[in-house]
Structure 1
């Protein structure tokens, strides 16, 4: 389970990503995170993952939470795909040989697993990141447009594998493809202008997102929180 408690975030000279967001993403349930391009969905996922700090408020994580699946920025560029995989296995306390075999099978990278990651294309990095994350048991998966990578056959394989994982864990899934979300999620959340609106019904969330309606505030921020966010924004820093 993920709990957001009065979370605020603004980038210097940028949009307000989170404006006093208070929300709960339940354990064992896949929630679609919807919003226009630039609304801050990836930034919100990063705050949930713990790789980006909010200006105010806090994110409480219950259970093991994945990094944003498909995000490959944390790989060491001078290590090979295989070496990066072994390193992640040690960090998370899983069998390195087992994870490496799984990643080879799922990623389809073949001989590229022996090449430095700096030589990888963005698609290859995403394949590696997806395969590693699917090979580690998480309680909550954070998924950011990962199944848009690769050819049609790979997309079908990743969707099937992700769906199997979500039968045993929860997830927050970012995608602009309603058909994909319907195959993975049962609930939805729409992010707009720093506000997050939660829906128990996925179809209602999709309808609001596609309709482009103005969202009502999902929380009523306190003056003190608003002041903290302002000070955090003025301090700057990602």
Structure 2
């Protein structure tokens, strides 16, 4: 479904290059939901953006044979000068989705009220995240990319997000970054640990958590 072919990615820092991936070969198979674990700064969110196509590798190629969501915790793709409604119309056209059903779903789910017709630049970060989550739930994706989205909104909104996401899990895969092991166990059936420029897969989530905790200690 998603394949990394000899992919490398690094950032320049005052103390030297920060390596995210080093000539990595990675294969995310269809029918498997994966939790991505790693210490702070390992590059988990960068990896997710690379999968989505929002960030390019330095070398190598990424092959995608699936309809992927944008990272659910990432709302940076919205045009700040356009309203929420105008942004969702643009996204609907890109994915060939029915505009009326998308508008109705997002208006109901996001709970943004009149803000849906105001420029994105007037939104708080939480409002942008709610719009991004609602829009992603309104479109059927083969795989949902998730970056700590479960903390959006108040308790009632979070419960609604979990219910909607659980329903999507019945027919779609998930690649998820989360610091919550309970969230990983709830939504994923395997996990992978990002460390030292490599992503190591574990079919057993407990094994992945143990490997991650050894690194974090």
TM-score range, shorter chain: over 0.9
* 1:120-167 alpha-carbon deviations (Å, 9 max, x no partner): 011110110111111111111111111121112211211221121121
Question: Is 1:139 the counterpart of 2:142 in the alignment?
Answer: yes
Q: Aligned residue for 1:90?
A: 93
**Superposition TM-score, scaled by structure 2 size:** 0.94
1:76 aligned counterpart, secondary structure: coil
- Over 6 Å off, 4+ runs: none
**Superposition TM-score, scaled by structure 1 size:** 0.86
Equivalent residues of 1:32, 1:172 under 8 A apart? yes
Q: Which runs of 5+ in 2 are unaligned?
A: none
In 2, distance between residues paired with 1:213 and 1:100? Answer: 43
Question: Is 1:48 the counterpart of 2:51 in the alignment?
Answer: yes
In 2, distance between residues paired with 1:157 and 1:26? Answer: 28
Question: Is 1:169 the counterpart of 2:172 in the alignment?
Answer: yes
Question: Is 1:33 the counterpart of 2:36 in the alignment?
Answer: yes
Matches within 5 A, 1:203-214: 203-212=206-215
TM-aligned CA deviation for residue 104 of structure 1: 1.3
TM-aligned CA deviation for residue 118 of structure 1: 0.2
Distance verdict in 2 for CA 1:213–1:83, change over 3 Å? closer
Q: Which runs of 5+ in 1 are unaligned?
A: 215-238
Question: Is 1:105 the counterpart of 2:108 in the alignment?
Answer: yes
Equivalent residues of 1:70, 1:127 under 8 A apart? no
Q: Aligned residue for 2:23?
A: 20
TM-aligned CA deviation for residue 101 of structure 1: 0.8
In 1, distance between residues paired with 2:197 and 2:123? Answer: 34
Q: Aligned residue for 1:232?
A: none
In 2, distance between residues paired with 1:174 and 1:203? Answer: 16
In 2, distance between residues paired with 1:145 and 1:103? Answer: 20
TM-aligned CA deviation for residue 42 of structure 1: 0.9
TM-aligned CA deviation for residue 28 of structure 1: 2.3
TM-aligned CA deviation for residue 91 of structure 1: 1.0
Question: Between Structure 1 and Structure 2, how many residues are aligned?
Answer: 214
Question: Is 1:183 the counterpart of 2:186 in the alignment?
Answer: yes
Q: Aligned residue for 1:221?
A: none
TM-aligned CA deviation for residue 185 of structure 1: 0.4
TM-aligned CA deviation for residue 50 of structure 1: 1.1
Q: Aligned residue for 1:217?
A: none
* 1:86-143 alpha-carbon deviations (Å, 9 max, x no partner): 1110111001110011111211111211111101011110110111111111111111
In 1, distance between residues paired with 2:79 and 2:99? Answer: 17
